[in-house]
Amino acid sequence: MPQVKQLILTPRSAFLRIKCPKCGMERIVFSHSTRKVHCEGCGELLVIPTGGKAIINSEEIRRVD
């Protein structure tokens, strides 16, 4: 009998630590955010929601696990 492969799904979304391009302040955001995210220091727009994966307008430092 052939072996049956089990599918193990992994999430495609994650929390990301990003850095503001203007002031350098770091912030943790969700990769599929449904709201606009602004920098707390300078007010720069960092994340734009699109209905799926958000557009990130800053430097992504790493994934937060």
Q: Which CATH class is domain 15-64?
A: mainly beta
Q: Kindly report the pTM of this predicted structure.
A: 0.76
Share of the chain above pLDDT 90, in %: 68
| Domain ranges for the chain | 15-64
DSSP 3-64: PPPPP----S--EEEEE-TTT--EEEEETT-SS-EE-TTT--EEEE--SSSPEE-SEEEEEE
Q: What is the pLDDT of residues 9-54, one digit of tens each?
A: 888 899 999 999 999 999 999 999 999 999 999 999 999 999 999 9
Instruction: Read off the pLDDT of residues 42-56 as tens digits, 9 standing for 90 and up.
Output: 999 999 999 999 999
